[in-house]
Chain A
Amino acid sequence: MNNTKKYGNFPGIRSADITLSISESGRTVDAIQRQEKVGHILSTILTYLIIGVLAVLVVFPFYWMIITSLKTNEEVIQSNQTFFPSIVMWSNYIYVFSAFKFGTYLWNTIVVAFFSTLGTLITTVLAGFAFARLEFKGREAVFLVFLMTMMIPGEMMVISNYITVASFGWIGSGQTLTQAYLAMIVPFMVSVFYIYLLRQNFKQIPNELYLAAKVDGKSDWAFLWKVMVPLAAPTLISICILKFMGTWNSYVWPNLVTKSADFRLISNGLRGSAFVDVETGNVSYGYQMAGTVLVTVPLFLLFVIFRKYIMHGVGRAGIKG
C-alpha cells in the first residue's frame, strides 16, 4: 500500500507511475485511505466526546458536594442555582464541627478499623498458610466449607450474629464503649474471601523455598513470618486498605449493635447528625455537604496514595470491605 516503494521485479516502473483503483467503486486506494483516516479521526473525536461527557457526569456529584459545602444557606436554596459559590463560606467547615462530632466518630472508626484489621490479618495469614502449605487430612473438606460460606449473602448472618453478640452481653441498655467496640470488632475478625485470596498468593510462592527453609532447620512458624508474609506483602496491604475502607463505609451493623450515638462510626454519625442551622432551625445543606466532604476526603487521600493496591485488590476481590 505504501506507494513510495519501488515495485519489486519490474525495473523502470516506480510507484508514482501506478495508480491502484478498486474495480467496483472506482475509487483509488488513496481516496479510500483518506476516507478511512477521516472516519478514524471522527470516531476518535466521538469516543472522546461521549467518554468526556460521561466522565463529567460521574465527577459532577463530587463537584457539587464541594461547592455546596462552601455556599451560604441562602445561595443553596435560591431558585437560581449557581455553579460556583458567590461567597466562599469556609466557616461552614467550622460550624459543622458543632453539629457533627467528627472527632469522636473518627476515633471510633479508627479503633474499630485497626482491631478488626489486625484480627483479620492474624486469622487470614494463619489459615491461608495452613491451606496453602501444610498437608493434613480434611484440608479440602474444610476449605470447601469455607468457600461455601462465601456464596451466602451476609444479611442471612446479621440476625443470628445480633443475637449471639447480645448473648455475650455486649448489647443492652448499660452498654459501655468497650462493649460497643467489641460488638463492632469481633464478628469481623475473619473474612473467608481474604483467606482464599491469600491462599492463592501463598501457593504461588515456590515450594523449594519451603524445603530450603526446612533444610536450614527453620520451623513452619518462622518460615511463615520470615518468608511467606514478606513475599505476600502486596496482597496483605490490599487487604488492610480494603478492610479499612469497609469499616469506614460500614453503616448497618454499628447502627444495630450500638445503643448510644457516641459509640457509632463515621457513616452513622454523618447520617444521624441533624446539621441544623442554629439561626433558622432548618437543615443547612452547606453544613451537611461540609460533613460529607470531611467523610469523603480521607478515602480520596487513601486512594491517591494506594491507588495501585486498591485497584489491584478490588479487581480480584470484587467486594467492598
Chain B
Amino acid sequence: MKTNNNKIKEKELIVKSKTNNLSEIRDFVYAAASDAGISADVIENIILAVDEACTNIIKHAYKSFPEGEIIIKIKYSDKKFTIVIIDHGAPFKPETIPDPDLQKYYLQHRIGGLGMYLMKSLMDEVKYVSVPGKYNQVMLSKNLNVSH
C-alpha cells in the first residue's frame, strides 16, 4: 500500500550465474539497504542471506552453468525490506533440505544446507516458489521499524 510516509522503492539487478558476480550482488544489496536507512548490523545480515541464496542458485539450480540468469528485485519501504530472487534453473524443493548437522558433516566430509539455515536465521521470512520447467523464486524479507 502506498502512503505518503511509506513510499515504496524498487530496484533490480540481473546478473549471470557466476560466483564472481557475488560481490556485485552484495554491493547492490548494500546500496539499497543503506538507502532504506537500515543499521549496519542488519545490512550485513541481509547481504549474507542474499549471497547464500544466489550461491545456492549458481551451484544447485544452474549447477555452475555460467550463462544462467539471476534476477534480483528489491522492494522497500520504511516498514519492510524485501528481496525476490528468480532463476530459471533446475526446480528446487526446499523441504528436502534438512537443517545442518555439523557432527554428521564432520564424518561425511561434506557440507550443505548451511546457506539455507543462515538465510532462515538472518531474515524474518524466507519463502520459496518453484514452478518446474519455468522458474524458482525465493523471497527474503526483513521487517523494519521493530520498535512496536
A interacts with B: no
Residues in chain B within 8 A of chain A (CB atoms): none
